[in-house]
Amino acid sequence: MRELVVKELTPSLKDDFLHFFDTVAFADNPDWSDCYCSAYHFANNKGKAESRREASSLIEEDRMHGFLAYDNGRPVGWCNAAPRSSYPGVQWLMSPGPDKYERVGSIVCFVIASTHRNQGVASQLLNDACKKFSEQGLECAEAYPVKKPESAAYNFPGPLSMYLKNGFSTHRDADWYLVVRKRLKTPD
């Protein structure tokens, strides 16, 4: 793998995002190919064509956020990361009640091309997401790894081991997943 380049998703990168999800992201797992990283943005999955249309609209409206990883100019990884308030699906996951942190960045999903797994792509995306959260003045980064993934595909929120290696700690046990957090340094 050449040097990985990570770019923050912008409307100008919409075609790269769509190409990644159309052809690369689920080449080895076609059952999940209707995702387009929509689960936390929409109330329910409406099928591949509708998920693609909605993801495209969200990107054009600058309402879907995250990071694309590129190897040799081709997208090979994705991390869906934004302030927690951007994700209706995360609001559903989190139990109601006051939260110690009001300014939380959520890291909800990673999709890495099968050719680039276990090479540090997700960790680099995670670090870039945390850096962006810090620049935005968010107090902590939060993620939701599955406690006992049925398969590697079920590690889509990122494996717990990656978060622990990158300075996260368990915030609470939430049934089938954990909430992990990392306190961020905010700019002075």
H/E run at residue 123 = helix 121-135
Alpha-carbon gap, residue 146 to 14, rounded angstroms: 29
pLDDT at residue number 95: 55
| Mean pLDDT computed over 111-140 | 95
* pLDDT mean across residues, the chain: 88
- As a CATH number, domain 5-183 is 3.40.630.30
Rounded alpha-carbon distances, angstroms, from residue 174 to 144, 146, 154, 177, 178? 9, 10, 16, 5, 5
Whether the model pTM is above 0.85? yes
Taking only the tens place, the pLDDT of each residue in 47-81 is 888 889 989 999 999 999 999 999 999 999 999 99
| Dihedral, 107, 109, 112, 114 alpha carbons, nearest 10 | 150
157: which 2 tokens?
């929120």
Q: How far apart are CA 76 and CA 25, in angstroms?
A: 8
In this structure, of 28-37, 86-95, 135-144, the range with the lowest mean pLDDT score is: 86-95
Q: How many CB atoms lie within 10 A of CB 73?
A: 8
Whether 17 and 35 have beta carbons less than 8 Å apart is answered as: no
Residue 151: per-residue pLDDT = 84
> For residue 152, what pLDDT band results from cuts at 50, 70 and 90?
confident
Model confidence at 37: pLDDT above 70: yes
Residue in the block written with tokens 């689920």: 26
